[in-house]
A and B are shown apart, each in its own frame.
Chain A
C-alpha cells in the first residue's frame, strides 16, 4: 500500500485542480463536461493531437530539467527563457552554415553543441555574477531574459532577416531533423520531430550526472551547504558557474527542437514562454526524471487542449488549469514532503 500513500496527495491535487477548472469553465458560460471532452479529444483523441501534445511537451521537459538542475545547487535559474532564446539564435546562425550534403545526425549534433554552448554562455555569465560579484541569480537571469529577447527581435527583424521573409535563413538539409510524418503519414503538419528523444534522454542524463559523478556530487554539496563547500576547499565560484552553464545548456538545447526539428528557421517569439513554464515543470517534477517528463506532457496536453476548446471558452481557461495544478500540488505535496522530512529528522 506504500505506493497508494505516495499517490494519494497527487490524486488529491489533481481532483482539486479539476474542480477549480470546472468552476472557471462554468463561470465562462460553458458546460465543463463538454469542454473537457473537447480538450481531451484535441490533446489525445487523435494521432495528430497526441503528436502535438508531445511536440509541445518537448521544450518543457528540457527547460524543466534545466531549472531542476540548478535547483540542486540551491540556484534558482529563472533565465531558462533567455537561455532558450540563445539556443534558438545559435541554431538559426549555425543551421544554414552546415553543408547540405552532410549526414543529418552529424549536422544536428554540431548545431546542438552550438545551441547548448549559447545557453551555457548566458547561464555561466549569471553564475559568475552570482559567485564573483554577489548579484542574486534570480535578478540577473530575469534581466538577461529581457536583454536576449530584445537582441533576438532586432536580429530577426534586421541583420538576420532572410530576404523579404520575417524569419532567418532556412536551415541546410544537412542539419534538419527528419519529421516523424515520414513514418506516420497521419502526423502531417505536426510539430513533432525526432527531437522528442531529447525530452526523454536529457532529464535522465541530468539526474545521472548529479547523482553519479563527482562533479554532480559537488553541485549537490554546494546546494546542501556553501560553507561546507568552502571548508572542503571546493571552489564556490567554479561550481556555481559550472552549474549555471550546464543548466543553461539544457535550456539551449530547446533551439534544436524549434529550429532543426520544427520550423527550419528562427523567427521572433519562437519558443517564448517555455522557459517560464519550465519552472512549473521543475516544481512538479521535483528533480525526478519521470515526473519531469510527465509534468511536461501534462502541460503540453493542457496547451494543446486549450487550442481545441478555443471556440467554446478562451484557451486561457486551460492555461488557468496549469496555475491551479501548480498551486494545488504545491499545497498538497509540499505538506506531505514536510511531514516526511520531519519524521526523518526524529
Chain B
C-alpha cells in the first residue's frame, strides 16, 4: 500500500456527499462543524517481538462514511483499532485527528476529543443501571458543589439519546440483566453520549441475532447520515456489503485491498481476505444415512425449556434455528448434563441417560462444543496441549502421571490437521485468536470417539478459512456416522450443514422441516413466534425428512 495519505483522502473526499445541503446547513448550528477528516493513520507500523502486526498501514476515516475492516483472525484488525483510539502507540508512522498529529495520545484523550470505541468484549458494569453505565464518568451533577449525581437528568439524557438514534432501552434496568444485543446498544449509547464524532466498532455483530444485526446496521446508517465517521470490523461479508461505503481488507498486517464498496464484489473481497481462492464446503454425503437413533429427548422440561422432544439419527445433522435466548443453551446444557432436568427423558444410543453425570455421558460418546468458547469451552489460561488432554474421559487414556511427549505429540497432530497457528503445543489458549481457539475446542471433541456432538455456534467470530476448515471436519465426522445437533445464529451455516432444521421459540421446538424447505421466509415468522406450532405438519415433516 504505497499510496500516500493525501491521495487516499483526495480520492475519498470526492465521493462525500451523503446528505443534502439543508441537512448540513442545520448541523452547523447544532453540532460542532464536522471536520473533513477526523481520524487518519499514516504509514503505521506495529510489531510484537518478531511478528509484524501492522505493516505500513495508511487509512483515513471520513465523516458521513462507513468503512468496513475485514480480515482473518490475527490479521491485525483489533490492533489497528487500538492504535487509532490511543490504546496502543504505533512503532512508526503517525495518527492524525482533526488536522493535528496525535500519535501516542492516550485513550482518555481520544475519548474526550470524540473518538469512541465499542470493543469486542463488553465493558459494562453489571450491577449499575443502563443510565448509570451510559453517563459513567460524565454524570450530570446537582446540589451544592455538584456533590450529587442527578439521576433524573441522566435518565432523561439516555432516553433522549436513545430516541434520537433509535437505540431505545429502559434506562433503569440493570446492565447485568440485559441480553447481548441490548448490552451492545448500551455500549453504543455510551460512546454517543460522550459526543463521539468518530466511532470504531470491533466485531459488533459477532454476538447478535439476525434481527439485532439489522437494527444495529440501521443505527450505524443513521449515525453516518448525521456526519459521524464510522469504522467497523466484521467477518460477515453480507453485512459489510449491505452497509459499508468503503472496504479495507487487512491481511497479515498489510492492507491488501482498499476501495469503495461499489467497485468491489464479494468474491474479490473474500479472495483478498484469504489470499487465494475461498475454500468451499459441500455437504455432499459420502455415506448412506442410518436409521439408528443416537439421541432422543422425550418431553424434557428444565429451566429455560418447556417440554422438548426430538430424535437425532446416526450420521444426521439437525440444525436448530432461533433467536438467541429461546432455550438453545438450556437444551444443550440439559443434554450435556450440566443443567438439572425437571422431567422428561434423555436417551443416548437407546439407553436412558437422564440421571447420568456429565462425565458418564461423555464416556458414552457425547461431545459438547458450547457457544461460550472462552469460559465454558476451554481453559484459556492453560496450553493447547493441556486443553486437549483435558478432553480425555477414559482413565486408561492417560495415567496419573502425564507424559509430556504424548501430550505434545497429540497436540502437534491436531495442530497440523486443523492448521492451528501458532504451531506450538505449549502456547496458552488465551494467546490464540478466536478462530484458532475454536479449532482447538472442536478438535478436542472430534478427536475422541463420539456418537453425538452438541455443536453451538461453531464458527462465531471465526474467519472464512478457519470456518470452512471446521465445517469440513464436522461433515467428515458426520459421514462416519456422527450425529450432530447444531445451533447457529447464521442461517446460511445451518442450511449448509443440516439435514433437517428445527426452530426453537420460547423454550419449545415449534417446527421441524427438511433443510430444503428451511428458507428465510419459512424460518423467519417461526423464529419470532409469529406463527404458532404446526404440530400436525411437524410430524409429517419428520416423516418426510427421515424417508
Contacts and interface: CB of A to CB of B under 8 A. Distances in A.
Nearest to A74: B381
A224 B400 contact: no
Interface string B249-275: 000000000000000000000000000
Nearest to B357: A233
B401 A225 contact: no
A337 interface: no
B381 A231 contact: no
B156 interface: no
Contacts of B430: 344-345
A189 B390 CA distance: 51
Contact of B400 (A214, A230, A234): A214
Nearest to A224: B379
What class of interface size applies to chain B in its complex with A? 35 or more
Given A213-B401, A217-B389, A345-B430, A232 B380 contact: no
B79 A227 contact: no
B406 to A, nearest CB: 12
Contact of B386 (A220, A234, A343, A345): A220
Nearest to A215: B400
B458 to A, nearest CB: 15
A227 B373 CA distance: 11
Interface in A197-250: 212-215, 217-218, 220-221, 223-225, 227-235
Interface residues of A, number: 24
Given A214-B399, A228-B375, A231-B377, A221 B361 contact: no
B194 interface: no
Interface string B377-404: 1111110001001110100001111101
- What is the interface of chain A mostly: helix, strand, loop, or mixed? helix
- What is the interface of chain B mostly: helix, strand, loop, or mixed? mixed
A225 B376 contact: yes
Nearest to B381: A224
Contacts of B48: 343, 346
Contacts of A224: 379-382
B97 interface: no
A213 B399 CA distance: 8
A230 B358 contact: yes
A337 to B, nearest CB: 13
Contact of B402 (A212, A223, A228): A212
B390 A225 contact: no
A2 B377 CA distance: 35
Interface of B: 48-49, 53, 79, 336-338, 357-362, 368, 370, 372, 375-382, 386, 389-391, 393, 398-402, 404, 428, 430-431
Interface of A: 212-215, 217-218, 220-221, 223-225, 227-235, 343-346
5 contacts: A224-B381, A228-B375, A228-B379, A231-B370, A346-B53
Given A234-B359, A344-B428, 8 more contacts: A212-B404, A217-B389, A223-B381, A228-B377, A232-B358, A233-B358, A233-B362, A233-B393
